[in-house]
Structures are given as structure tokens and as C-alpha cells.
Amino acid sequence: MKIEHIWPAALRKPLVPGYDHPPYAQVVVATRDSGERSVHIAGTFGTYKDGSIDEGDMGAQVRQAHENIRLCLEEIGGTVENLVRVKIYVTDMDLYLKEGNPAEMELAKHAPAASTLVQIVRLANPKALVEIEAYAELGIKGQLLRETHS
């Protein structure tokens, strides 16, 4: 099995002072001998490439986190249809259900994945209201490994 650690060029790369690389990989791809790949996308905030975030706007943060996840998948030849699981961490469940859930449903209409939603006290980025982890499975050359059901 081959393990790749990837930081998509389209995403902001946060650095820790004194180090020339982030303390984690944004994307880890495990390629099996068959060529099939498991993709693990680190917790993703709704930040833009310049590091800014739509403060206080749950819907905008969810949409941008989805865009960042889409960019991660695109970097390795996948799409949101390859998603098999998402984990969503929010600081305000009521706000998420009001503003974030409609944005989440936009992603789910293309690729319903197994999902977990958890409210927590805070996130590593104090301006973030949501952080989303994503997992995908890709076949050889990015094809889907699962049937899509409506």
C-alpha cells in the first residue's frame, strides 16, 4: 500500500511559526495494490485561500467548507460523488440546523454519504462555526466504487 500526503495548491496552507510545513496533511490517500484509493480529508473550515472566513455566517462557512473539500477531491481526481462519510462539528446546533443544514443538503443531493453531526464547545479556529471531515473511496482512475441509489 502506498500512502500520499497532499496539500492542494488551491487551499491555504497554515504554518506553525518556526516550521516550513503544516503540522498535518490536508489529504491522505492510501492506494491499495489494486489501484483503489481511500481518501481521508482533514477537518476543513470554511476559510478562503487568503485565510478569511465569513464570521457569524454558518451557511456561508458550510458552503465554503464544501468547496474546500471539493477542491481536495479534485486534486486527486475525485468528485463529491466519491464521498462515503462526512463528520460535521459545529459550535451551535440550532444555528447549524437553521443555516447550515440547507447548505449541507446541497452536497447530499449529489452524494449522500454516511454522516455524523456533533456540537462541540469550540474549534481550533476561533472564528469558525463548523469543521467538516470527509472520507472518499476511488476506484482505478477515480471511478466510483459503489452503486448510486436514489
Give 83-129 pLDDT, tens digit per residue. Answer: 999 999 999 999 999 999 888 887 777 768 899 999 999 999 999 99
CA distance 28 to 7: 9
pLDDT greater at residue 47 or residue 108: 47
The closest of 117, 110, 137, 111 to 41, measured between CA atoms, is 137
CA distance 26 to 12: 10
Structure-block grid coordinates of residue 78: 475525485
Query: Using 50, 70 and 90 to split pLDDT, how confident is the model at 34?
Result: very high
pLDDT at residue 147 is higher than 60:
no
Structure-block grid coordinates of residue 51: 485565510
Query: Using 50, 70 and 90 to split pLDDT, how confident is the model at 8?
Result: very high
Structure-block grid coordinates of residue 25: 496533511
Structure-block grid coordinates of residue 7: 496539500
* Greatest alpha-carbon span in the chain: 50
CA distance 101 to 83: 17
Please count the CA atoms within 13 angstroms of the CA of 68 that sit on its side-chain side.
29
Mean pLDDT of 53-79: 96
Asked if 91 and 122 touch (Cβ cutoff 8 Å), the reply is: yes
Chain centroid, CA 32 distance in Å: 22
Written as one letter, the residue type at 16 is: V
CA distance 67 to 126: 20
Query: Rounded to the nearest 5 degrees, what angle is found at the Cα of 58, between the Cα atoms of 54 and 64?
Result: 60
